[in-house]
Every structure is written in C-alpha cells, then in structure tokens.
Amino acid sequence: MLILGYAWEVSSFIMVFCGVFVFICGYKHLLNTLLSLEFMMLGVFWTMSCYISSIGVESFFLLFFLLLVACEGALGLTLLVSIVRTHGNDCLWSFSVLSC
C-alpha cells in the first residue's frame, strides 16, 4: 500500500516536470505556455492533495488553491483573446512589449 502511495506522488512530480519541460521548449505560442502552466498547476494540486490526504488534514487550502488556479486560467485566456484580437495571432515572437 505504501508503494502505491509513492507511485501517486511520483506521478504528480512527473506531471510538474513535464509541464516545466513543455513551458521551456514550447514558448513560441501563448496558448502552449498557458496549457503548460495549467498542467503544472494540476500537478501541484495533485501533489498537495496526496500530501494532505496522507497526513489527514482538512482540505480547505486545496479549494482556495483551485480558486486561484481557475482565476489564473481565466486571466490567461482573457489575455490570449485580447492579444489575438489586436495582433492577429498568438505567436510570442510576432509582437514586442515595448511597441505596444
């Protein structure tokens, strides 16, 4: 049973590292970076839920974390839509922050 618990924790760390890898390698499009950030947050949520369930503490903090992740996703999609409307695409190399 203990090995199964470690497998869940290892899989959550693998999720976070895969999200970091995609974030580093797939930086050309804003949608890819937003999806990798959401995948990293899902891995962090899974890690925290495994840890909190193993020590037996109430999980109100997880609800607050999910609230912040949902707000982060909504803000990211809002920025994506506004950038696509103003610049025509979501390629990060096609626009500069200094020229806006």
CATH architecture of 2-94: Orthogonal Bundle (1.10)
- Reply yes or no on whether the pLDDT at 77 is more than 80: yes
Q: What is the pLDDT of residues 3-33, one digit of tens each?
A: 566 777 788 888 889 989 988 987 788 888 8
* Per-domain boundaries in the chain: 2-94
**Residue 21 pLDDT:** 92
Evaluate if residue 65 carries a pLDDT over 70. Answer: yes
Contacts of 69 (CB under 8 A, 6+ apart): 38, 41, 42, 45
pTM over 0.85: no
* Residue corresponding to tokens 């925290």: 48
The predicted structure's pLDDT at residue 97: 59
pLDDT band at 91, cuts 50/70/90? confident
Mean residue pLDDT of the chain comes to 83
